[in-house]
Structures are given as C-alpha cells and as structure tokens.
C-alpha cells in the first residue's frame, strides 16, 4: 500500500519548541525575581514564630513538672523532707530562665509584656526560696502551707500567662501565614497575563503536534495491524509445517523403523542360540527401537496428536514428564478448577506458550526448577509458568522471536500475556484467556 508523501513537521515543531522554551525561561526568571524577597520574608517570620513557640512550650513543660513536684511535696503518703526537692526545682528554674532569655530574644513583644513575665517568674521563685528556707528551719508544716496558699496560686497564674503567650504566638504565626498567602495571591495575579501568553503559545504548538501525531499514529496503527496479520500468518504457517513434519516423522520414519524392528526380530529367530550374531542383532534391534521412540517423542513435541484427540489437559500431562527428561528441569505441575474442553487450535496456542516458557527457563534462567499451573476458572483459563532464576531484564534487550510469538498467540486467543517478576524473584509468565473465546462447543 502506497502512502502519499507528507511534509515533515520537524521545522514547525522546532520553531514552536523554541518559542515555548523562550516563554518558559522568561516566565521562570520573572517568577524567581518576584518570589526571592517573599521567600526571605517567609523564612524569617516563620522561623521567629517557631522559635518563640518552642521556648514557650519549653517553659510550659517545666511549669507542669514543677506542678507535679508540688503535688508530690504535699502528698502525706510520701514522707520525704521538702528540702529533698530543692535540687530538682533548681534545675527547673535554671531551664526556665534559659528558655525565658531565648524567648525574649526571638519574640517581638512589647517591653511591658516581657517585664510582666519576668517579674511573675521572679516572684514565684522568690516564694519557692522562702518555702525552702522554712523547710530548712524544720518548719515543714509552715512550708507546706505556703505551697498550698501562695506557690500553687502563683504557679497557676504563671502557667496561665505562658499559655496566653503561646496562644498569641500561634495567632501571630497564623497571621503571618495569612500575610504570606495574601502576598502570594498578589504575585499570582501579576503573573496571570504572562502565564496566559505562554499557555497560548504552548496551546498552538500542542495542537499542531497533536495533529501531526494523529497522522503518525494512524500510520503506526496500520503498520501494527499489518504486522499482527503477518505474524498470525507466520504462526499458522509454522503450525502447518510442524504438523506436516510431525506426520512425516510418525508415518514415514516410524513405519520404516517399525518394519526394520520386525525384520530384525524374524532374523533373530532364524539364528542359532549362542551365536555371536544373535547378540549383535539384539543390539541393533534395541537401537532401532530407541530411535523409533525418540522419533515418536519428537513427532509429538512438534505437533502433539493428543491435542486433537484428548485435549490440552492430557497433552500437558504427557508433555511435563517428557520435558523433565529432556531439559533436566524439576517441574512442579499443578491443576485446579473444573476442566472444560478447549477448541483444538486454541489448545495448540496455549500448549506452545507453555512449551516456549519452559524452553526459556531451561536456556536463560539458570534455575533447575519450574512451576507450571493450569487453572480452569468459570469464565477463563489461566496458565502460569514460573521460575526463581535470574529474571527477565528488559533493559538488556531480551526481545527474542519466542517472546514475540508468545504475545501474538495470546492476542490470537483474545487473552492477556504478562511477564512479571514474582515476589520470590525470577520470572512469571501468566496467560489468561476468556472462556468464551476458546471453549470447544459440541456440534448440534
């Protein structure tokens, strides 16, 4: 089939590509210039707010620890003296002072707010010092009373102040995020017209590319259909040739070797017992019989007559042990489901896929084991051939004619052929064909 000459779209596509790339580069430069300052502002505001929140959370955690310690100090079930808690509270005081200092450095608070928090914390720790002074003077009851009356109240006020500042910090972070979002919205509005112009250029280039691709893909689809048709004809020719060779081997050579065996048997009966020639004839007869058996196996392998007489299931029952002897593989064969009869030509294609898969295992996988699973489902037939060898590497260009033929046979059957890597490694060839396409129906 001749195709009319078409002008190559390369020049127009290159021009469109140059325009598109120039638009994208200009757009990227403009965006970078607009967003550089925005990123710096965002980073500074968010980092400051995050550090402020972290220090407030640090102080809040320390205050909670102090509150727990005070409750334990007032617990009559724990007879420890109050002075035993001085070192723990001293550590909390040191950590809170450090947190307060860092919080003042990063938080943008007014002097009044900073002074109030510092004074509140200072008053609380002064009361703590007085409480421990009473405890050191063996005035445990007065010290505990001060904890109940004064320290717990001041601790609650201080915790409330820190919590309020934490809420304000979170609110400030939310407002900062809102400001940043507003700035982003303004930048987006400024860039809209520029982006629209770039999209128009890309749109025209894409439309031209789509039109050219449609023409190319139409041609590819036509060539693919022709290739598929040719492949199916080649497969049909191959099967016809193999069937002819199989019959010739079985009929011609098989009959000749059978006749030779019969003649050697008759000749053996005419030779006296104990004659050396009798042993030679027996050896020749055994060789002829072995050759006959090999030819019959070869004939069946080329085109199993069992496919026409007993169907796919019986053919695989016969073929799997023979493949084990010929290839040296250990093949684990599993059948499941309720069998149903396949149309003869469909059985041939399924058998060839199994045969080619096992040949690939023996030649390429490096494994000495294979698993063949045949499952008759209510609506489909599924065949799997699995090995745990080196696996199938597409990047190495493993695209032999055998794999192409397997895929073509799967398409002829109207099914799906997959080559995947199982979880245990190796290669799994899975064929699934719909029952409606391959089931043999009895003649009316």
401 falls within a domain: yes
Give the pair of three-digit tokens for residue 207. Answer: 């439309």
Same domain, 176 and 38: yes
Q: How confident is the model at residue 428 (pLDDT cuts 50, 70, 90)?
A: very high
The stretch 350-379 carries a mean pLDDT of 91
33 falls within a domain: yes
Q: How confident is the model at residue 239 (pLDDT cuts 50, 70, 90)?
A: low
Q: Which domain holds residue 347?
A: 307-438
Pick the more confident residue, 427 or 103.
427
Domain final residue pick, 193, 209, 225: 209
Q: What is the pLDDT at residue 68?
A: 81
Tell me the C-alpha to C-alpha distance, in Å, between residue 236 and each of 244, 383, 406: 12, 22, 13
Q: What confidence tens digit (pLDDT) does each residue in 58-104 have? A: 777 878 888 887 777 777 776 678 777 778 888 887 887 887 777 77
The stretch 311-331 carries a mean pLDDT of 88
Residues, the chain = 444
Asked which of 81-85, 250-254, 412-416, 436-440 is least confident by mean pLDDT, the reply is 250-254
Q: What is the pLDDT at residue 2?
A: 40
Answer yes or no: are the C-beta atoms of 52 and 169 closer than 8 Å.
yes
269 falls within a domain: no
273 falls within a domain: no
Does the pLDDT value for residue 201 go beyond 90?
A: no
Does the pLDDT value for residue 215 go beyond 50?
A: yes
Does the pLDDT value for residue 244 go beyond 70?
A: no
Domain final residue pick, 209, 229, 250: 209
Angle at which helix 254-269 crosses helix 276-302, to 10 degrees, equals 160
Burial code (b: 16+ CB inside 10 Å, e: under 16) for 286-310 equals: eebeeebeebbeebbebbbebbeee
Query: In this prediction, what percent of the chain has a pLDDT beyond 70?
Result: 83
216 falls within a domain: no
Pairwise CA distance, residues 247 & 235, whole Å? 18
Q: What confidence tens digit (pLDDT) does each residue in 269-287 have? A: 777 776 777 777 777 878 8
Domain final residue pick, 177, 209, 241: 209
Does the pLDDT value for residue 34 go beyond 90?
A: no
The stretch 150-154 carries a mean pLDDT of 78
Pairwise CA distance, residues 111 & 296, whole Å? 104
40, with CB counted inside 10 A (0-12, 13-18, 19+), is exposed
334 falls within a domain: yes
272 falls within a domain: no
Same domain, 72 and 199: yes
Q: What is the pLDDT at residue 394?
A: 56
Same domain, 325 and 204: no
Q: What is the pLDDT at residue 442?
A: 42
Asked which of 157-171, 223-237, 336-350 is least confident by mean pLDDT, the reply is 223-237
Does the pLDDT value for residue 430 go beyond 90?
A: yes
Does the pLDDT value for residue 228 go beyond 70?
A: no
Same domain, 205 and 314: no
36-40, 42-46, 198-202, 405-409: which has the highest mean pLDDT? 405-409
Threshold 0.75, pTM exceeds: no
How many domains does the structure of the chain reveal? 2
Q: Nearest-CA neighbor of 173 among 106, 96, 105?
A: 106
CATH (domain of 328): 3.30.565.10
298 falls within a domain: no
Same domain, 17 and 135: yes
Angle at which helix 276-302 crosses helix 312-327, to 10 degrees, equals 130
């Amino acid at each position: 089939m001749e195709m009319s000459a078409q002008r190559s779209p390369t020049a127009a596509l290159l021009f469109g590509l140059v325009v598109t790339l120039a638009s994208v580069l200009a757009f990227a430069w403009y965006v970078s210039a607009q967003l550089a300052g925005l990123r710096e502002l965002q980073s500074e505001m968010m980092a400051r707010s995050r550090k402020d929140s972290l220090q407030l959370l640090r102080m809040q955690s320390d205050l909670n620890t102090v509150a727990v310690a005070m409750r334990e100090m007032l617990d009559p079930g724990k007879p420890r003296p109050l002075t035993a808690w001085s070192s723990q509270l001293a550590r909390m005081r040191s950590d809170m002072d450090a947190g307060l200092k860092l919080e003042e450095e990063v938080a943008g608070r007014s002097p009044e707010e900073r002074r109030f928090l510092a004074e509140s914390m200072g008053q609380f720790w002064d009361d703590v010092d007085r409480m421990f002074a009473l405890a050191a003077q063996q005035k445990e009851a007065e010290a505990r009373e001060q904890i109940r009356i004064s320290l717990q109240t001041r601790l609650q006020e201080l915790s409330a102040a820190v919590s309020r500042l934490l809420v304000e910090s979170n609110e400030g972070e939310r407002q900062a995020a809102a400001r940043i979002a507003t700035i982003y919205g303004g930048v987006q509005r400024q860039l809209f017209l520029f982006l629209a112009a770039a999209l128009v250029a890309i749109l025209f280039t894409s439309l031209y590319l789509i039109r050219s691709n449609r023409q190319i893909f139409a041609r590819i689809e036509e060539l693919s259909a022709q290739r598929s048709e040719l492949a199916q004809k080649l497969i049909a020719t191959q099967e016809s040739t193999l069937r002819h060779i199989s019959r010739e081997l079985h009929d011609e050579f098989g009959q000749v070797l059978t006749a030779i065996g019969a003649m050697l048997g008759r000749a053996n009966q005419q030779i006296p017992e104990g004659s050396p020639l009798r042993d030679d004839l027996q050896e020749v007869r055994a060789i002829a019989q072995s050759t006959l058996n090999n030819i019959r196996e070869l004939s069946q392998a080329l085109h199993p007559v069992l496919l026409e007489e007993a169907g796919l299931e019986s053919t695989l029952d016969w073929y799997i042990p023979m493949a084990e002897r010929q290839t040296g593989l250990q093949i684990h064969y599993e059948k499941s489901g309720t069998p149903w009869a396949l149309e003869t030509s469909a059985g041939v294609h399924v058998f060839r896929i199994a045969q080619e898969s096992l040949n690939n295992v023996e030649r390429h996988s490096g494994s000495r084991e294979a698993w063949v699973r045949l499952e008759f489902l209510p609506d489909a037939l599924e065949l799997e051939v699995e090995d745990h060898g080196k696996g199938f590497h597409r990047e190495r260009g493993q695209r032999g004619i055998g794999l192409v033929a397997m895929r073509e046979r799967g398409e002829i059957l109207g099914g799906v052929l997959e080559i995947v890597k199982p979880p245990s490694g190796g290669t799994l060839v899975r064929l699934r064909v719909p029952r409606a396409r391959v089931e043999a129906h009895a003649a009316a």
